[in-house]
Structure formats: C-alpha cells, structure tokens
C-alpha cells in the first residue's frame, strides 16, 4: 500500500556521520525534523557533520549500533544506514560489517518498536550479488556467493532485510526496505575504493584512471540528493518494499572514467588493472516500483552530479594544500 505521507518531528539516523547519512541529516533538518545522529565513526567522518553540531535540533550520539541502543526518547522514524559500505571498508571490517547488518538492525528495530516509529533500512543492490537477470527487479532473489570476500556485506544486508520483514510480520513494526544502488556525490572518501572517488582523485592528480578488468562492466550511478529523496519517500510512505532506489541509466566503467577525465581536463587517460573477485558485471535497477508506488525517480543528470562532486573533491584538495 502506498500513498500515506508522514512528516516527522524527530528522526534517528544510525550511521548519520557517513556519506549518505550526513546528507540525510541535512535534508531532515532542512525539513524541520529534529535529528539524532548515531555513529561510531568507524568509516564516517566528523567533518561530514561538523556544520551541524551547532544546528538547532541536531544531536550526536557516539555509539556502536552492535551494542544495544540507549533510550533516545520519542521519535517517529529510525533510518538504519550504519554499516561499512565500500569494499575497502568491509574487507577491513568483515566481522563488524556482519554485526552491523545483524545486531545493528535488530537494535534499530527494537528502538523503532519502542516508540511505534517507522524503520527504514538502507539495504543494497549487493543483495542481488552478480545478477543473472537485467535489469534487476525487486522480485529477483539474487546470485550471491555466501563465502566470498564480499559476502560479509551482501549476506549482512540479506540478513538485515530478513530481520526487518520478520519484525513486520511477527510484531507489526512498520518497516521500509530500500535497496540502494551505487550512489555518488560530495563527502565520499577519496580512498574508499569506489570508482567515482578513485577516478576523480586520480584525474585531479593527472594520473591515469585505473579501470578494473575490461571496463565493459556496467554501473548505474545515482546522485546522493536523489538517493536521499528516495529514502525520505520510503520513510513517508507505508511501503514495506523492498524498493530499488537507483538511476537506471547504465554506463560502462570505462565511460565513467572517460567522462571524469574529460571534465577535469586530465590528459593521463585510463589504465587497466586486474578484475576483482566477485565484481558484478552488470548492475542496473528496474525502478518501476519506486516510480509507481512512491512517485520517485532520480532527477540529477550524471554529468551535473559529477561536476558537483568534482568541485567538492577539488575544494578538499585545495584546502589540504
Ligand atoms: P559510509 O561508510 O560513509 O557511512 C556508514 C556510516 O555508518 C559511517 O558513518 C560509519 O561510521 C557508521 N557505522 C558503521 N558501522 C557502525 C556501527 N557499528 N555503529 C555505529 N555507526 C556505524 O557509507 P555510505 O556510503 O554512506 O552508506 C550508508 C548506507 O547506505 C550503508 O548502510 C550502505 O550499506 C548503504 N548503501 C550505500 C550505497 C552507496 O553507494 N554509497 C549503496 C548501497 C547501499
């Protein structure tokens, strides 16, 4: 069922100091919602939320969500984004990643249940693994290697989805599961191993963009303001999902590298490095469900989002001297 829209007096953002979480905190505060940001800074950064610390209605709780959450007081919605998200981060923190998906999800659900709040899970397109169908609809159950190096993330999120649906079925918790596809924008970390920050950092240093494998593998990339708008739409609806949030425009990794180099004006070109284990060859969301049930679709053109992201990275490079 869709349609119901809600506005929130008070929201909790687990993982609010991260890349997407900090933009979500910004958007909620802009809409007049008080925000409790819970984060242990294992992959997030203080700088992402430094501008909010004096803002009216913003509260920061330094806490690991794999430990039971303190009573945070009455609230309307819990967003669970607390998880290492980039391959570099979850290779470094494999056990913490599984715990964030499992224990962290249950703690978030318990908090939501206590106040009759809605629970929104930031799940991922990685639940589809290396998909055998294109584009991926929410009905596709995935092609995941349960013991590969990426499994800590993929299976952690699959467990998180199962936990959210178990709470919905058994305890009547209002849950919304969003399957986010690759998101990019300002506040990504330059060294997190994902292609956009990697290519931008390389091109700004006039070094070749390193493309893994053939470079013909595709990605669909969504600008962060669109992803945040999607998460808010899921929260305001009564949809349990899962709902894909992503940009269905499919680009090859080589195309992305070329465009980054072109906008920056780097002459260093592209170099190829070996493919990584279990790297999906195609990734493209079918977003019909989000369009039909939430009236959500991405609005920011790739080139426009890329320019904003490049500007932010260039400013960071300048301010570091
Ligand atoms: P991020 O690493 O920048 O943000 C995650 C935040 O969670 C960080 O601030 C980190 O410190 C915090 N965190 C991690 N484990 C924690 C714990 N145990 N306790 C408290 N805080 C903890 O990553 P992101 O790219 O902003 O991703 C946010 C969420 O969206 C993640 O759940 C991720 O799986 C999901 N997602 C992101 C993308 C993407 O393209 N960025 C795609 C799909 C799904």
| pLDDT per position as a tens digit, 20-67 | 999 999 999 999 999 999 999 999 999 999 999 999 999 999 999 999
How much is the average pLDDT of 188-216? 91
pLDDT over threshold 80, residue 280: no
Domain count, the chain: 1
Structure tokens at 8: 């929130």
Residue 311 lies in a domain: no
Residue ID of nearest Cα to ligand 1 atom 33:
85
Q: Which atom of ligand 1 is nearest to the CA of 93?
A: 15
Window from 33-42, 47-56, 262-271, 312-321 with minimum mean pLDDT: 312-321
Structure tokens at 41: 């800074």
Per-residue pLDDT, 1: 32
Residue 180: CB partners within 8 Å, gap ≥ 6? 20, 122, 123, 124, 125, 222, 227, 230, 231, 245, 246
Residue 140 lies in a domain: yes
Residue 212 lies in a domain: no
pLDDT over threshold 70, residue 165: yes
Domain, as residue range, for 88: 10-184+222-248+284-299
Residue 269 lies in a domain: no
Residue 69 lies in a domain: yes
Per-residue pLDDT, 4: 39
Residue 261 lies in a domain: no
Residue ID of nearest Cα to ligand 1 atom 21:
39
Residue ID of nearest Cα to ligand 1 atom 35:
122
Binding-site residues, ligand 1, Cβ < 6 A = 15, 17-21, 39-44, 64-66, 81-85, 89, 100, 104, 122, 124, 180, 182-183
Structure tokens at 192: 């997190």
Cα–ligand 1 centroid distance for 18 (angstroms) = 6
pLDDT digits (tens, 9 = 90+) for 228-257: 999 999 999 999 999 999 999 999 999 999
What is d(CA 34, CA 58) in angstroms, rounded to the nearest whole number? Answer: 6
Catalytic one of 90, 115, 128, 153: 153
Per-residue pLDDT, 105: 98
Confidence of residue 2 (pLDDT cuts 50, 70, 90): very low
State which of 17, 26, 44, 193 you would mutate to test the pocket of ligand 1, scoring each by most atoms of that ligand within 8 A of its C-beta: 44
Q: Which atom of ligand 1 is nearest to the CA of 126?
A: 43
Distances, alpha carbon 190 to alpha carbons 20, 107, 132, 300, in Å? 15, 31, 31, 22
For the domain that residue 130 is a member of, what is the CATH number? Answer: 3.40.50.720
Nearest residue to 305 via CA among 158, 185, 166, 156: 185
Consecutive H or E run containing 203? helix 195-204
pTM of the model: 0.94
How much is the average pLDDT of 58-79? 97
Residue 216 lies in a domain: no
How much is the average pLDDT of 125-148? 91
Q: Which atom of ligand 1 is nearest to the CA of 100?
A: 18
Q: Sign of torsion, CA 103 173 182 192?
A: negative
Q: Which atom of ligand 1 is nearest to the CA of 222?
A: 40
| Helix, strand, coil in percent for the chain, rounding step 5 | 40, 20, 40
Cα–ligand 1 centroid distance for 3 (angstroms) = 28
Per-residue pLDDT, 320: 65
Residue 235 lies in a domain: yes
Catalytic site includes residue 153? yes
Cα–ligand 1 centroid distance for 269 (angstroms) = 31
Mean pLDDT (the chain, rounded): 93
Strands (E), the chain: 10-14, 34-39, 58-62, 77-80, 118-124, 175-180, 183-184, 209-212, 218-220, 222-223, 243-245, 250-252, 270-273
pLDDT over threshold 80, residue 293: yes
Nearest-Å Rg of the Cα atoms of the chain is 19
């Amino acid at each position: 069922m869709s349609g119901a829209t809600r506005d929130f007096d008070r929201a909790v953002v687990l993982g609010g100091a991260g890349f997407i979480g900090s933009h979500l905190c910004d958007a909620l505060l802009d809409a007049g919602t008080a925000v409790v940001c819970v984060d242990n800074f294992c992959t997030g950064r203080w700088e992402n939320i430094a501008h909010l610390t004096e803002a009216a209605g913003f509260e920061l709780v330094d806490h690991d969500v794999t430990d039971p959450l303190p009573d945070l007081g009455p609230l309307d919605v819990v967003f669970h984004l607390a998880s290492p998200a980039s391959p570099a981060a979850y290779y470094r923190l494999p056990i913490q990643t599984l715990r964030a998906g499992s224990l962290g999800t249950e703690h978030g659900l318990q908090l939501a249940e206590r106040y009759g709040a809605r629970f929104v899970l930031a799940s991922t397109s990685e639940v589809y693994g290396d998909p055998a169908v294109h584009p991926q609809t929410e009905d596709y159950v995935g092609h995941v290697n349960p013991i590969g190096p990426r499994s800590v993330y993929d299976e952690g999120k699959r467990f998180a989805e199962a936990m959210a649906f178990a709470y919905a079925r058994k305890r009547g918790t209002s849950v919304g599961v969003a399957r986010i596809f690759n998101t990019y924008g300002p506040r990504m970390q330059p060294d997190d191993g994902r292609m956009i920050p990697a290519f931008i950092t390389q091109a700004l240093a006039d070094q070749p963009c390193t493309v893994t494998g053939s470079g013909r593998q595709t990605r669909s990339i969504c600008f962060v303001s669109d992803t945040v708008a999607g998460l808010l739409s899921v929260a305001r609806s009564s949809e349990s999902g899962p709902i894909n949030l992503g940009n269905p425009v499919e680009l090859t990794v080589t195309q992305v590298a070329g465009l980054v180099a072109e906008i920056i004006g780097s002459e260093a070109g592209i170099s190829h490095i070996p493919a990584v284990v279990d790297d999906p060859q195609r990734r493209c969301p079918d977003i019909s469900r989000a369009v039909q049930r939430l009236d959500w679709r991405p609005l920011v053109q790739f080139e426009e989002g890329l320019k904003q992201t490049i500007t932010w990275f260039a400013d960071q490079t300048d301010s570091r001297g």
